Structure 1
Amino acid sequence: MTPAPSHYDLLIHGGTVIDGTKAPRFIADIGVIDGHIAAIGKLDGCTADRTLDATGRIVAPGFIDSHTHDDQAVLSQAAMPFKVSQGVTTVVAGNCGISAAPLRADMELPMPLSLIDSPAEGRFTTFKAYLDALRATPSSVNVAAMIGHSTLRALTMGDLDRPANEAEIAAMQAHVEEAMQAGAIGLSTGTFYPPAVKATTEEIIEVSRPLSKRSAVYVTHMRDEGDRVMEALEETFAIGRALDIPVVISHHKVMNAQNFGRSKVTLPFIKETMKHQCVSLDCYPYTAGSTMIRTDRGMLEGRVLIASSEPHPECAGRDLADIAKEWGVPNDEAARKLQPGSAIYFMMDEDDVQRVMAFDETMIGSDGIPLGDKPHPRLWGTFPRVLGHYSRDIGLFPLETAVWKMTGLTARNFGLHGRGTLKVGQHADIVIFDAATIRDAANYETPTKPAEGIDAVIVNGTITWHHGVHSGARSGQVITRRDKATAEAS
């Protein structure tokens, strides 16, 4: 056995390690050299360029946000304070069919593509160009990116209100192949949204063909999360089987009052399907979702809080019903006047949220939209909310399980090699927090308040957040997919 080094770039002393595997916690020191974990154990007498005292604190892998819309933010808001402040060291981008590339400068982006804030002068015509830009100007977090099916439809089709024809499918497939060669970890769809509503199952399968030989992941905001959620699950699983690839169900939920409690049906169906094919899922720990301002009745049944509005920015943070009353118009007409923009929709039942979150294989993702002054509080509070409110206060699951759901499980499901667990040789993505005080401070009234209880966040061995202050470090890396052959050889 090779002896542990005696000097480290960074030494984390005396912490209680929760390693991201669901194993019981243990007390140990962690030594970091060249951005990697070099030793875990009793490192008394060792020296270091910098030492952090983690006595009485939890030392865990940096959290991996399994579902983000940070595609453009990692370039335009590269410090990423809304993520590093809550312990996130890696984001999975390109969700819901929406990606930052490929795009043309002359394209007018339909909603919800425009929510990721892609300025025409900063667009990338290839996926490789996007990843190269991230490498040239690193973010404060690591980025694992997918290509979006809706983005491809907008790029290749003049009319989105129909299925793609053979030539358009071939063009989209070529872009997927380019993205796979560049290192995209998979492809996402958002058939719930207008740009992809008319896409057929067959279109999605054919566009996604390049994923098969690489076992890249297929991630989907399903066609329906309400009355027809079971049909949407069946379509999702059929796509995975046809392509023989892993499937991720994005932000699994059952929405609208008539469907409250249906997670008692969806989760057993998902669990049974997992016995036959590779399926995983994520969720966010809130009863409200957030997306583009919509006018369809199903989205306006509950409380709607406006997060941003281009024509009426003064309405951000206000309830749609109050705005409609003030304007003397029905809710749907008020919503139409507020478009384009984003809104927060209170449409889920707390029992369903807890049931989905407690499901053994559920990962944690924020689904936050980094846009405007009144975003959904999940953008700033998701991970501390799980650790504080749901794990510590409610006792939904042990802290070891909570950490696993946002680290090791996510790294495994997305194939993020070298991340997600604390062991020698892994990238030194680490968070140090106080299990007794960690909590989300962001709420719907003050949604951008940083979380409490996070002591330090380390990204690739560099201290990025310490005692509530961003260090200015931008040591994030681009995480690319490893092909099957590469993975098997290592």
Structure 2
Amino acid sequence: MTLASNNTPDWVFRNARIIDGTGGASYHGELAIVGDTISAVGPVGSISQTGRNEVYLQGLALAPGFIDSHTHDDRIVLDAPEMLPKISQGVTTVVVGNCGVSLAPVTFKGDPPPPMNLLGGNRSYEFVTFASYARAVAEVVPAVNVAALVGHSALRLAVMADVNAKASDSEIERMGAMLSEAMENGAVGWSTGLFYPTNAAADADEVSRLGRYVARHSGVYATHMRDEFEHVLESIDESADTAKAAGTALVISHHKCAGVENWGRSQQTLPKITRLAQDQTINIDVYPYAAGSTNLRADLITDTYPIMISWSGPHPEMTGRYLIDIAAEWGLDLSSAAAKLQPAGAIYFQMDEADVRRVLASPLSMIGSDGLPHDVHPHPRLWGTFPRVLGHYARDENLFDLETAVHKMTGKTAKVFGLTRRGQLKAGCFADLVAFRPDAIADLATYEKPVQQSVGIELVMVNGKMSFGQSGASVTRAGRLVYRDR
């Protein structure tokens, strides 16, 4: 047992299977909380003090609150701060601002261009500095903690008249000043989305020069690489080279080998990333599904894999239907039907299950949902990612043990993003906790019915406050902006 305080505990959890987030073996134990901090944790019988609240878990798993390493929750934490899609999964911290897309520091007079519209319309973009976004999070107090990245597309659209060009020296300086402001006010790093038109014109020089502003604050660099299809190996090299030139740790976002012609290539990509990681800090995030989701894009239209419409501006009645069926009904080819649906979003069944399993099992991978909360018919990963890893892949498929699964969504993620005192059950750490039933935890969200809470989550605490319980609703909101350990 480790003690951090002699005060009477506010909470004591007894008779739990302690999974501490380190990846080490679980054990039968108990845990005490004083205020927002874990004050003691150890084997059964080691905590003699009686808590103001005593909870007997009867052998349920008690783990650190899950950290969603890849989200687009920038706006939903303000507009729907109860955060049911995430806290109902046991998530207590979300990493926002991925894929080059962040709310700050940019505003729009008209409709935000894709992919910025993944976070909402122009009214969603009201923050010209990161500090103003941080203040909004503090004022709202969402149910989960927020760790924020600054998006490269947001920077480019805020500064550049033409984002289809490489940034000039003066534009890089202006974007660099914005990055510095963000890092000084609590951002944990930055992200690029070189796959997207608002970011694609940025070359390696622009990315590495901007990355140096983040490196001065020990921030992390997350990237939606330029290509996850045919040129995935070259994109890995570009990502590693720019991160190394900048002096930042690298996170390769939602690593995949997309397109049927690339199925099986994780047998090439993962060894390459592992070799590169011997010389620099590289990690990857992954969601536990063989389908991705983003805007409906002309360059992703194909008849080699199914495409489901997640929303459509002019044709909302087509939401949740497959593009091939819509095209047949309209008497159009796939590309013409897709054009008629625009602006729109889609779910692309473009990955191979064997590749997904290899990436999930990699020691470099951590779990991120990449859910899109503003989609009318979202990908089921928004509501089901973490229980799916614990239930389907760890328990049912034996892809890894439960301790490894929890580590990939807690201690590892906290270390990658430098989140001080998060991700472990250890005296002195913040009291972000989840209790769940290992034998019953399961995702219920499907592609056909994606908005469904998972089962098997018994309770969730955020910063020492009971925040979600068996009622299936958010109880107390206690989230905060969380900072990188410098």
Pairwise CA distance, 1:298: 5.7
Displacement, 1:3?
8.5
Q: Give 1:147's aligned amino acid.
A: V
In the TM superposition, residue 297 of structure 1 has moved relative to its aligned partner by: 4.5
Q: 1:68, 1:93 within 8 Å by CA — same for their partners in 2?
A: yes
Instruction: Please state if 1:32 is matched with 2:33.
Output: yes
Give me the TM-score of the superposition, normalised by structure 1. Answer: 0.96
Q: Which residue of 2 aligns with 1:9?
A: 10
Paired residues for 1:206-225 under 5 Å: 206-225=209-228
Deviation (angstroms), 1:341: 2.3
* Structure 2 CA distance for aligned equivalents of residues 323 and 403 of structure 1: 41
The separation in 2 between residues aligned to 1:209 and 1:298, in whole angstroms, is 37
Contact preservation (8 Å) 2:195, 2:224:
yes
* Match for residue 173 of structure 1 among 170, 176, 180: 176
The answer as to whether partners of 1:370 and 1:379 remain within 8 angstroms in 2 is yes
Counterpart amino acid of 1:229?
V
Instruction: Rate the CA distance shift 1:308–1:298 in 2: closer, same or farther, 3 A.
Output: closer
What does the per-residue CA deviation read over 1:45-71, in whole Å, with 9 as the maximum and x for residues that have no partner? 532232222112100000000000000
Which one of the candidate residues 251, 257, 261 is aligned to 1:258? 261
CA gap 1:192/1:426 in 2 versus in 1, 3 angstroms: same
Quick one: structure 1 residues 383 and 459, their matched pair in 2 at CA, closer, same or farther if it must change by over 3 Å?
same
2:322 pairs with 1:288: no
Distance in 1 of aligned mates of 2:139 and 2:121: 18
Q: Does 1:342 align with 2:349?
A: no
List per-residue Cα deviations over 1:232-289 (Å, max 9, x = no partner).
Answer: 0000000111011100000000011111110001101111111100111010000000
User: What is the deviation of 1:180?
Assistant: 1.2
Tell me, in whole angstroms, the C-alpha distance in 2 between the residues paired with 1:161 and 1:102.
Answer: 19
Please state how far the C-alpha of 1:7 moved relative to its aligned partner.
2.6
Q: Distance in 2 between matches of 1:314 and 1:238?
A: 45
1:442 to partner: Cα distance: 0.4
**Which runs of 5 or more residues in structure 1 are unaligned?**
484-490
Instruction: Tell me, in whole angstroms, the C-alpha distance in 1 between the residues paired with 2:110 and 2:122.
Output: 10
1:429 aligns with 2:436: no
SS in 1 for 2:467: strand
Amino acid at match of 2:409: M
Q: Does 1:72 align with 2:75?
A: yes
Question: Which residue of 2 is the match for residue 115 of structure 1?
Answer: 118
The residue aligned with 2:243 is: 240
Which residue does the alignment assign to 2:144? 141
In structure 1, what is the equivalent of residue 336 of structure 2? 333
Distance 1:158 1:353 in 2: 39
Q: Percent identity?
A: 45
SS of the residue corresponding to residue 8 of structure 1 reads coil
Three-state SS of the structure 2 residue aligned to 1:14 is strand
- Quick one: which of 267, 270, 274 aligns to 1:267? 270
Contact 1:455/1:468 (<8 A) preserved: no
Runs of 4 or more consecutive aligned structure 1 residues displaced over 6 Å after TM superposition: 1-4
Match of 2:359 in 1: 356
Which residue is 1:450 aligned to?
Answer: 453
Cα 1:315–1:369 shift into 2, 3 Å: same
- SS in structure 1 at match of 2:52: strand
What SS does the aligned partner of 2:399 have? Answer: coil
- Identify the residue that residue 157 of structure 1 maps to in structure 2: 160
Contact 1:344 1:376 in 2 (8 A): yes
Partner SS, residue 106 of structure 2:
coil
Residues 135 and 118 of structure 1, relative CA distance in 2, 3 Å threshold: farther
Contact 1:149 1:189 in 2 (8 A): yes
Match of 1:203?
206
Deviation at 1:165, TM superposition (A): 1.8
Q: Report matched runs for 1:410-429 at 5 Å.
A: 410-429=413-432
Contact 2:3 2:427 (C-alpha < 8 Å) held by counterparts: no
Amino acid at match of 1:273: L
Change (3 A) 1:83 1:300: farther
When the two structures are aligned, how many residues end up with a matched partner?
483
Secondary structure of 1:129's aligned partner: helix
Q: Is the 8 A contact 1:221 1:251 kept in 2?
A: yes
How far did 1:107 drift? Answer: 5.2
